[in-house]
Amino acid sequence: MVTVRFAGAAGEVTGSGYLVETGAARVLVDFGLFQGGLDAEGRNRVIAPVEARALDAIVLTHAHVDHCGRLPLLMAQGCRAPVFATPATLELAEMTMLDVARIAEEDTARANRKLRRAGRRERTPLYIAQDVARVLHQGRELDYGSWREIAPGVMLRLFDAGHILGSSSAELRIARADAEPLTLVFSGDLGGRDQPILQDAQTPPRADMVFLESTYGDRIRLPRADAMANLCRLLRRVVAEQKRIIVPAFAVGRTQALLFELAHVFREGLVPEFDVYLDSPLAARASAIYARHAELYDAEARRIGRASQVPRSLHVVESAEASRRLNAGDEFCMIVAASGMCEGGRILHHLRHNLWRENVMVLLPGYMAAGTLGRRLAEGAREVEVFGEPVAVRAEVHRVEGFSAHADQEGLLDWLAPLANPSLRVVLTHGEEPAREALAARIVERHGLLAERPRPGEFVTI
């Protein structure tokens, strides 16, 4: 019997984690941070149902923090299992996890100064840089399409998921003494068709059970050309009105896609070129990693070359002092900063300085999880709290279609189609309940399969 336990991202979008127990091995697929909600920090410190020292192997599908962000916690508790991922994922994950460690240490130091003055017990950071180093020390590179035995009786093969650079869907083939091997497929996060820079997602050839993400399981997105036409109309108006543009974007994936599309519309004269400030050292480092892995680009990105993938008017803001100078001004420009859901990083400073101003437009280019500041802005809040301070929202706020790194409902159904057969078990994860319900209904309609929708802490057996 094989058991898969859910350590997050079941009925929600963050905290991905799957513990696969075969009787001979324990394999963990992803272990990401929870984001959004007052209880996120507390939940991130709990690793159950995982036992760090009992793991035989870890599979990392990609480098977004909601998939890799809790791995250093395992190392701090004695995990010595190898971590299998593509080379690009290991590079990006190191950068992502170090940034989490840096923020955790800074936030904890600031909180502890207050706690000491109050005579209260001090806190410890979620994890530190040495814990991240242990993850990378145990990292094992695995290219797409190559089989590797990662634990007793467990073989792994990765497929391009088209989500961010190096992202993967994972195929686990588990040996059984009295039957054919069992094949489990974990979709990871899947990219939409015709995304900038990246190849389209690939589907593994077969599965007995598939764990399918459902982030946009209730949405059909505009084709890329239509989404870009809408964005160009919006940008031309902003240029005419000389409004400052604030864009929260994930440092890995979303920022690179946005800069790619801006370079295109400027180059083609679809929008008058203006100054774009990338105020995210993390995104700048991620872009450098993207530049080193041109072998993963699609035909369009290879054809135009790296130099044409960013606007000529791009300015990279490195120092905190330069970022503060940006905040002090009000000249027309676009400021792109992390984090994508407005839960930390330099974007919070830009929002605090600009949300209350009427000559500002905030563009939200992707998914905002429940409980995040980004979700509150997307839902039309007229006042929000930033750094504990109430801030009026007088700026225009627009959700921008076309930049999400996730496949929509039709994309998810198309990816699933080659695996669909009467005996396939489908488990929907990494989606809020309305999205899972909508996708489950379409899977019944299109493929005649009932989709399971587990909750955190539950498990399935095969």
Distance CA 420, CA 206 (A): 9
Reported as a single tens digit per residue, the pLDDT across 237-247 is 999 999 999 99
Reported as a single tens digit per residue, the pLDDT across 184-239 is 999 999 998 888 899 999 999 999 999 999 999 999 988 888 888 999 999 999 99
Q: Would you put residue 245 in left (φ > 0), alpha (ψ -120 to 50) or beta? A: beta
Reported as a single tens digit per residue, the pLDDT across 14-33 is 999 999 999 999 999 999 99
Homologous superfamily of the 3-219+405-461 domain (CATH): Ribonuclease Z/Hydroxyacylglutathione hydrolase-like (3.60.15.10)
Q: Which residue has the tokens 């993938």?
A: 309
Which has more pLDDT, 404 or 307? 404
What residue spans define the domains of the chain? 3-219+405-461, 224-399
Report the alpha-carbon angle 306-308-312, nearest 5. Answer: 120
Identify whether the C-beta of residue 406 lies closer than 8 Å to the C-beta of residue 9. Answer: no
Amino acid at 405: A
User: Per CATH, the architecture of 224-399 is what?
Assistant: 3-Layer(aba) Sandwich (3.40)
What's the chain's average pLDDT?
93
Report the alpha-carbon angle 389-392-393, nearest 5. Answer: 125
Has residue 270 got a pLDDT over 90? yes
Amino acid at 232: C
pLDDT reported for residue 430: 95
Same fold yes or no, 3-219+405-461 and 224-399: no
Which residues make Cβ contacts (< 8 Å) with residue 276, sequence separation at least 6? 259, 262, 311, 313, 314, 315, 333, 334, 336
